[in-house]
A and B are shown apart, each in its own frame.
Chain A
């Protein structure tokens, strides 16, 4: 979607971090923006930061796991701006810890927001985008953890791989219908994701040690410390990512890779897959299959 001026974007998780940065980049490009977030106070502050008379930015309090609330938010967006062109499924949370220590509530919370929230966004907005026929774009926030596994991030990995797969399929599915699809795969960005437990619903609290994900600063393991420092050195500010997302929409990039240095790790995984394919090819030959 090259011409974004005057178009309407709906952004979840827009009260802070990457969502707010995207909203700013979109508004600067002349788009109308709906800021959607579960965190009411932060949402109000975010809305106010756009200036008191800015009629092209509205705030809608919404829990992305609530399907009826998503439909109501879409209705409000259409009331305010007529239609929606760009959907950004950005709201996300994280827990950390070994798979062996995960409680069902850990899974339910993270899968609920990071995966079901995206399903709800697509289910709610896609038919509305297709209906007006002006074209559109769907951006979903995954992570490099959608392409690479990380020890202690199994729940997060499951949800982020899931939305990468969904986005790749969605892109093919919508290619002929003038709706572009991008999946945002950032590395470390300076956001509140490490404190996402602040918005965890009471009924999905867990008595495991997995309430929040951190960079394990207290880890005594030397290699781990090195990895943490290396990750920190690559951290980006959200506003940079907001502009990259805008660029990704304009160019209809399938992937938005904010941290290009990770091509190394992604290529290493590909090499592991290839080596494995090779072993299985040998197995089949040996067994005459």
Chain B
């Protein structure tokens, strides 16, 4: 989507971190922006941080796991700005721990926000974007953890891989209908994701040993850990990359190109596995 000025963006998880940065980059490009977030205080502060009297932004308290609330937020955005062109399903949380230590509540919370939240955003907004016929764009926030697995990040991996698969398929579905799709796959960004437990609903608290996902859960050796920390970038940089990704209709927004060798290693392992199975089939005459 090349022409963004005057277009309308709806961003979840917009009170802080990546979402707020995207909203700033979009507003900087002349877009109208609906900031949606579950954290009401932070949302009010985020909204106030845009120029006072700025008629180009609205703030909408929203729990992305609540389907009726997402529909209502879409209605309110349309009431304020007429239509929605760009939707960023960005709200995300994380928990870490060994699989054996996870409770159903851990799964329900993280799958609820990171996957169901995206499903709810897509199901709510895609038909509305298609209806106005002016084209649009969907950005789903995944992670490098959508392409690379880490032993203690199993739930997070599950949700982020899911968002990758959904986004890639959607891109093919919507390609002819003037709606682009990008999946954002950041590495380490300076956000609140490691404290996402602050917004965890009481009903989904667990007495498991799962914790807020931390860098220590990635099972990295000290050198890799240092490299990861050294590669950390600020959200503002990512916001501009997302804007660029929307304009260029990039399928993937890779904020941390240094991960390419790790992704290549995973592929090399798969390619070696394909070869072993080829040999198995030949040996068994299949």
Contacts and interface: CB of A to CB of B under 8 A. Distances in A.
Interface of A: 67, 98-100, 102-104, 107, 111, 115-116, 119, 122-123, 126-127, 130, 145-147, 149-155, 157-166, 168-175, 236, 240, 243-244, 247, 253-258, 260, 262-263, 266-267, 270, 272-274, 276-281, 283-284, 287, 289
A40 B159 CA distance: 32
Nearest to B151: A172
Interface residues of B, number: 74
Contact of B277 (A103, A145, A258): A258
Contact of B115 (A153, A158, A257): A158
Interface in B264-278: 264, 267, 269-271, 273-278
A119 B104 CA distance: 8
B90 interface: no
A126 B123 CA distance: 34
Interface string B165-196: 11011111110010000000000000000000
Contact of A173 (B147, B151, B163, B169): B151
B154 interface: yes
A130 B100 contact: yes
A146 B160 CA distance: 12
Contact of B99 (A98, A162, A173, A243): A173
B149 interface: yes
Interface stretch (B18-26, B37-45, B245-253): B245-253
20 contacts: A100-B126, A104-B67, A111-B115, A123-B102, A127-B100, A152-B172, A158-B165, A158-B166, A159-B162, A160-B165, A169-B99, A169-B150, A169-B158, A173-B152, A257-B270, A260-B277, A272-B251, A274-B264, A277-B263, A278-B257
Contacts of A104: 67, 119, 123
Given A173-B154, A254-B273, A150 B149 contact: no
Nearest to A119: B107
Interface SS of B by simple majority: helix
Given A152-B172, A266-B267, 8 more contacts: A103-B123, A158-B166, A168-B149, A263-B275, A266-B271, A266-B274, A270-B264, A280-B241
A262 B278 CA distance: 11
A263 B278 CA distance: 10
Contacts of B153: 169
A153 B169 contact: yes
For B98, B158, B171, B284, the residue with the greatest tally of chain A CB atoms inside 10 Å of its CB is: B158
B150 A162 contact: no
Contacts of A253: 273, 276-277
Given A151-B172, A158-B163, A161-B162, A263 B250 contact: no
B201 interface: no
Nearest to A162: B162
Contacts of A256: 277
Contacts of A98: 173-174
B157 interface: yes
A273 B123 contact: no
B252 A273 contact: yes
Contacts of B172: 149-152
B169 A151 contact: yes
A175 B116 CA distance: 30
